[in-house]
Structure 1
Amino acid sequence: MRLTTRTNLAIRTLMFCAVNPHLTVRKSDIAAACNASENHLAQVVRTLGQHNFIDATRGRHGGLQLMRSPSEINIGAVFRVFEADLPFAECFSPANTCPLVDACWLRNAIHDAVEALYASLDKVRLSDLVEGNDGLTALLRFHAPPGCTRPGRDLPAGQGVASVEEAAARSPGRPA
């Protein structure tokens, strides 16, 4: 089985947002960190927003944040959003032309394998992918360019942060 680029980018986007919980991140930040096209990422972001995984705000001060805690985001559900409409094999497509479809037992085996994959992914939460994963955090932690600051969104009023490092310091259990 091979995942689509869209599913791969969706998971990368969610991980980037989870690693940077007190920041509103931008598509360009994610694209740079994940070696992705911003145009392709825009399609993924739109779908993630439509399915309430992220809050995407447009405009100059816009960006992305998770709509739910990472522990509430089921990876199997994300995969289904991006993969469910794509038939795994021709025999699962409404446009199927395979003459063996009525007698082929491989179709049942493939169906069972795909369902087993989703059942396995249903056990995984976004938090399982990011919490305690120092290597991933080091790769995806947002670092503002020199002289540039971005305030955190979920901090109490009047407690904006001067830097990303301060936001990380305020996030328990997260290294700066």
Structure 2
Amino acid sequence: MRLTTFTDFGLRVLMRMAGEPDRPFTTAELAEEFCISRNHLAKVISALSAGGYLKTRRGGGGGAELAQKPDKIRLGDVVSLLEADQALVECFLANGNACTLTSRCQLKAKLLQAEAAFIADLNRSTLADCIYYPIKF
């Protein structure tokens, strides 16, 4: 499987925040640290917040922080949330499937099983298993 950069950034955000769980992080701060677009990262943080993984506050002293303890956040659940709009293959799309093999395809069921196994395997691990501890100078 291949994850989108959206999911990659989402996992990075969670790992980074788990390393310093007692402080909020601004989008600008994380975007600079990860060398990515602030606008793109804002969408990632919004999705993680909507999924219940982050809580956010606006204004001075605001930012985003974990909404759950790292040992309660299952990696597969995060990936499922962030990849929800990404079909593994065209025939998984709700509409727009133009594959001429669909009616007799034996591959689709195997891919569904593989995708479910991938998420289940990731769910054996939590964010606590992947915490990023920044180096302090």
TM-score (normalised: structure 1): 0.73
Structure 2 residue aligned with 1:165: none
Partners of 2:63 and 2:97 lie apart in 1 by 41
1:77-97 CA deviation, whole Å, 9 max, x = no partner? Answer: 111111122111011112101
Runs of 4+ off more than 4 Å: none
Structure 1 residue aligned with 2:129: 128
* Structure 2 unmatched runs, 5+: none
Structure 1 residue aligned with 2:29: 29
- Write out aligned runs for 1:1-176 (5 A): 1-93=1-93, 94-130=95-131, 136-138=132-134
Q: Which has the higher contact order (CA 8 A, sep 6+)?
A: 2
For the residue of structure 1 that corresponds to 2:56, the secondary structure is strand
Partners of 1:33 and 1:15 lie apart in 2 by 13
CA positional deviation for 1:62? 1.1
Moved more, 39-48 or 58-67: 58-67
RMSD of aligned C-alpha atoms? 1.5
For the residue of structure 2 that corresponds to 1:137, the secondary structure is coil
1:93-125 CA deviation, whole Å, 9 max, x = no partner? Answer: 121011100111111111111111001011110
Aligned residues: 136
Partners of 2:121 and 2:34 lie apart in 1 by 25
Conservation of the 8 A alpha-carbon contact between 2:70 and 2:128: yes
Structure label with greater radius of gyration? 1
Conservation of the 8 A alpha-carbon contact between 2:13 and 2:30: yes
Partners of 2:80 and 2:117 lie apart in 1 by 13
Structure 2 residue aligned with 1:150: none
Partners of 2:78 and 2:35 lie apart in 1 by 20
* Structure 1 unmatched runs, 5+: 131-135, 144-176
For the residue of structure 2 that corresponds to 1:45, the secondary structure is helix
Partners of 1:48 and 1:80 lie apart in 2 by 11
